[in-house]
Amino acid sequence: MTPASPPHAAAGPLAGLWSGEFVPRQPLALVVLPTVGFALAHQPPAGHGGDPPGGTDLPAPVTVVVSAPESAEAAGLLAEIERRRAPRWVWWSASAVAPLATQVRLAACWDLAAVHRLLHGGRRDDPPAVWAAVAGLPAPPQARPPGPTTRVAPGQLGLWEGTGEDPPTRRGPDPTGPEEISAGPAGVGIGGGVGIGGGEDGPLAGDGQLDAGWLRRAAGPAEALRRAAALAALALQAQHRQLAALGDLADRRARPGRISLAVLTARAESAAELLARELERDGLPVDRATAETLLADLVGPPPRTDADELAARRRRDAPVLAHLRGPVDLRNPAAVRAALRTVGVDVPDTRSGRLEPLRDAHPAVAALLAWRRTERIATTYGHRWLDTHVGPDGRLRGAWHGSDGAAGRMTAQAGLHNLPADLRCAVVAEPGRVFVRADLGQIEPRVLAVVSADPALAAATQADDMYAPVAAQLGRDRAHAKVAMLAAMYGQTTGAAGEALRRMRRAYPTALAYLDAADAAGRSGRDLRTYGGRLVRLAPAAGPPDRAAGPPRGLTDPAPPDEASPAVGGVTEQARGRFARNAVIQGPAAELFKAWAVTVRAELPALGGEIVLCLHDELLLHVPAAHAEAAADLLRTALAATAAYWATASGVRFVAEVSILQRWSDAAH
């Protein structure tokens, strides 16, 4: 391992960056120490811009350490670097730099944690696991969170805060860390050489593993900054090795470009993590008065005592119980099923999908379905939810994740990804602003046309509604064509779906062969990679899954095969096959969506707008009313630009329905 050079000393904290040659999008590693400062590391350019070529290790980087205890001062320096040098920021994770990165508009980044998940699958992405992967070492044991009495050392919550966890449950610092760290005036920290070898002089242990507690054991601010510089230098090495690994992946586009699709996907995934931090910061505009009125109409006034809660619960239950015999616990599915049987409605389960066709069979069924909707709002999105998650500024905020553990979709908490339709009319643009909404049309079948390279299916995507030409090809109406497409992608083989699937197989043999190959891989437990390069783990796990190792899945995403309940007999080969054929479509669809979203993010500041919601295939912008049409044009042009490289030479057309709204509920969902 080549040691890093000493930190750069000069008249100003960043004089070394200004005096040397630095090309746009050159990698610049950043490690942030809140209330202390930050450290940077970069390579002298080798006569070219952008990312360096793959290889073994980089030569000794140039490191800079800046003491800047005030966050506004540190953010101002980052903004100056962004303006004058336009680097590609490299960090261990967006969460680790969020205190500064979300105060500044940073254009391009490389998130080592996000790229690690892309390359290696799964959910673990803490720095020791990232380093072990790029160094070819076994994954180290995952650190346990500290106890509740752990003292937090000021200034030491930068790089390792949140190791292996998500923002709401970030891990605290190492309990053996220093009691107090304070910083002096802004300036360059001067110290000895910055090594990245083993022992207390470097962050790597004797076995080559990354020592997660090394930074926290610094004796003071100057030493902490020196160690942060070593970790920034190590981040450059990790980025270089990830880039080489991505270069080894096949580019499955019909016409590969100068930069491989896997590298382009890594860049988009990295930017999506930064976008996720910005979404957490900005929130979704909500008109509180409207929300309070809606909740009062749906579930009653805010309960103030336990007795109020119980009375409200009884009021919700009464319309259903009026149609059933005897007392029934409506929150117990077995009790509900037995009660329905007494009024002549015999069903194997009480899921809404099962009951909906029987709505008119007995008044109790319709009442039960209405109760479920109200009960969900009362218990999950009631007055307590409003008080907890909607701030005084009228913004709904929750934790965001750039990619879940299955299909790679962006997910969010606090109801942002599954807000009931009844409450969407409370999502109102602020005065002088409007929402500009875009929804990707029939994204999954269009993605199937790209990834499978089926020419007949690609031809169908030229239509705004591709189900119309598919219906013509199948000799059926549009409704049957849609069933056939869903049957193909989700592996439905019985009933009407089975017949539709057989017709699809004759009409689009290339697409079906692609899905069948994924299905076979899933059944045999062979891992797959998505079109953009994400590893989909399908091999059976050696032990029980670590459910605390990552974010929850989106509600529409399939459960990873290893998360099936042993109580129901584990996962069948058929279930693994369905999961695999779904993942190779949903995964690329998520990659395309995020690539589109971050392209919009890059251009939106010029219009004074912000992205306030990424919901599966839907993007919601909040912009000045005067720039609404320009934002609508941006959504369309960004989609065209993204598709031009993502689906180059595929012959597949992507479409988006774009609308300008005052309320989110005004859109056709």
DSSP string, 126-150: -HHHHHHHHHT-PPPPPPPPPPTTP
Whether the predicted pLDDT of 439 surpasses 70: yes
Residue 635: CB atoms within 10 A of its CB come to 22
Mean pLDDT for the stretch of residues 316-340: 94
Residue 260: CB atoms within 10 A of its CB come to 19
Lowest mean pLDDT, pick from 135-139, 181-185, 514-518, 589-593: 181-185
The pLDDT-based confidence of 20 (bands split at 50, 70, 90) is: confident
Domain ranges of the chain: 15-45+57-248, 288-389, 396-442+592-666, 444-587
The pLDDT-based confidence of 99 (bands split at 50, 70, 90) is: confident
What is the structure's pLDDT at 541? 62
Mean pLDDT for the stretch of residues 436-451: 97
3-state class (DSSP) for residue 551:
coil
What is the structure's pLDDT at 132? 97
What is the structure's pLDDT at 412? 95
Q: What is the pTM of this model?
A: 0.85
Whether the predicted pLDDT of 431 surpasses 80: yes
What is the structure's pLDDT at 329? 95
As a whole number, the mean pLDDT across the chain is: 85
* Cα(338)–Cα(326) distance, integer angstroms: 11
* Cα(346)–Cα(621) distance, integer angstroms: 47
Whether the predicted pLDDT of 48 surpasses 70: no
Q: Give which of 342, 309, 263 is closest to 88, Cα–Cα.
A: 263
- Tell me the CB-side half-sphere exposure of residue 520, using CA atoms within 13 A: 6
Give Cα separations from 201 to 43, 91, 220 (angstroms).
Answer: 21, 21, 15
CA dihedral 300, 305, 306, 309 (to 10 degrees): 0
Give Cα separations from 157 to 38, 95, 398, 470 (angstroms).
Answer: 12, 10, 21, 55
Q: Position of tokens 């490289």? A: 645
- Residue 351: burial class (beta carbons within 10 Å; 0-12, 13-18, 19+): exposed
Kind of pairing between the strands at 187-188 and 108-111? unpaired
Q: Give which of 92, 202, 233, 211 is closest to 140, Cα–Cα.
A: 211
What is the structure's pLDDT at 215? 94
Tens-digit pLDDT profile for residues 206-215: 999 999 899 9
More confident residue, 560 or 253: 253
Q: How far is CA 2 from the centre of its chain?
A: 34
What is the structure's pLDDT at 630? 98
What is the structure's pLDDT at 46? 61
Whether the predicted pLDDT of 190 surpasses 70: no
8 Å CB contact between 7 and 209 = no
The pLDDT-based confidence of 5 (bands split at 50, 70, 90) is: very low
Mean pLDDT for the stretch of residues 607-623: 96
What is the structure's pLDDT at 115? 98
Whether the predicted pLDDT of 389 surpasses 70: yes
Whether the predicted pLDDT of 183 surpasses 90: no
Residue 613, H or E segment: strand 610-615
Q: At the topology level of CATH, where does 444-587 sit?
A: DNA polymerase; domain 1 (1.10.150)
Whether the predicted pLDDT of 189 surpasses 70: no
Percent of the chain with pLDDT over 70: 82
Whether the predicted pLDDT of 6 surpasses 70: no
Superfamily of domain 288-389: Taq DNA Polymerase; Chain T, domain 4 (1.20.1060.10)
Q: Position of tokens 């009960």? A: 375
Tens-digit pLDDT profile for residues 495-504: 666 777 888 9
8 Å CB contact between 127 and 238 = no
What is the structure's pLDDT at 571? 66
3-state class (DSSP) for residue 302:
coil
Q: At the topology level of CATH, where does 396-442+592-666 sit?
A: Alpha-Beta Plaits (3.30.70)
E-only strand ranges, 197-291: 284-285
